[in-house]
Amino acid sequence: MPIVEKSLVEVERTETLEVDGIDVSGDWNTFLKSRVSSDLDARILDWVKGEPQGETISRCWQCGTCTAGCCMHTDYGLTDFNPRYFIYLAQIGYEEELRKYATTIWRCVSCNKCVERCPKGVKVEEVVHRIGSYLTATGAAPESPADRFDRAYTKNLLRRGVLDEAELFREYERLEGRKTPTRELLRMAWTLLKSGRLHTGPLAHRTRGWSRMRSVLEAQLAEDDRAHAPRSRGPPAGGPR
């Protein structure tokens, strides 16, 4: 049977040759490229299963109902966003392929249609987010604007226990490398002042006894970071990569 998938054919040598008047030109040492990936990592699955509701990933039988009803995939035509495929890649530990979707995976809008429709009770929305978190935590996904905002928000709130909107805005602009025109800044400041939400500088509020609470929260955040670091969960089940 002829091999029709040319991309899988590896030709080492092509020669024009005549032997005893017979043209025997052609490809020599022709092989099929290996389609077997040995770069699989069971840590992804272990990590997702260790997260709240992540253990439901094991129930998935790859029927595709979630993808067929997913609003991002179907209604918005984002064909790269395929929850069934993300789950499949996590199940087999194909991190290299999964990394290609490290940004796309965050396009989930948490509508939960997939969860409603899954015949196996997989918490698809949670599982997809857990896979995304794994990719972020392992450095496969670039930090998103939402991540940077979260970082700025947490830092801001930890400072005094009350949000300083103006300071948060400045910090977020710095992280994003943006600069809002002065005129627009003044307009926003006036709006905040009128609504009584400009708690900055001398107008800043403080929470009594906050320093004690802050150290508790900081310790908890550090603990969460450690718990959510995928690589801290020991070596992959299948041995080193």
- CA torsion sign for 157, 159, 162, 167 is negative
Amino acid, res. 51: E
Q: Which stretch binds ligand SF4 (CB under 6 A): 63-71, 133-141, 183-191, 200-208?
A: 63-71
Q: How far apart are CA 154 and CA 133, in angstroms?
A: 18
Does 61 help bind ligand SF4 (rule: CB under 6 A)?
yes
Give the nearer residue to ligand SF4 in terms of CB position, either 89 or 128: 128
Residue 145 vs residues 174, 176, 241: alpha-carbon distances, Å = 12, 7, 32
Of 168, 128, 129, which is closest to residue 150 (Cα–Cα)? 168
Structure tokens at 48: 């997702």
Does 62 help bind ligand SF4 (rule: CB under 6 A)?
yes
Residue 7 CB, shortest distance to ligand SF4, in Å, is 28
Q: How far apart are CA 147 and CA 141, in angstroms?
A: 11
Residue 117 CB, shortest distance to ligand SF4, in Å, is 6
Residue 168 CB, shortest distance to ligand SF4, in Å, is 28
SS3 179: coil
SS3 126: helix
Q: Which residues contact 47 (CB under 8 A, 6 or more apart)?
A: 54, 130, 134, 230, 233
For the chain, how far is it from start to end, CA to CA, in angstroms? 36
Q: Which stretch binds ligand SF4 (CB under 6 A): 5-13, 66-74, 148-156, 157-165?
A: 66-74
Give the nearer residue to ligand SF4 in terms of CB position, either 61 or 182: 61
Does 90 help bind ligand SF4 (rule: CB under 6 A)?
no
Give the nearer residue to ligand SF4 in terms of CB position, either 85 or 210: 85
Binding to ligand SF4 by CB under 6 A, coded x per residue (else -) over 95-134, reads -------------xxxxxxx---x-x-x-xx--x------
Residue 89 CB, shortest distance to ligand SF4, in Å, is 12
Structure tokens at 141: 């996904």
Binding to ligand SF4 by CB under 6 A, coded x per residue (else -) over 165-204, reads ----------------------------------------
Per CB under 6 A, residues contacting ligand SF4 are: 60-66, 70-72, 83-84, 87, 108-114, 118, 120, 122, 124-125, 128
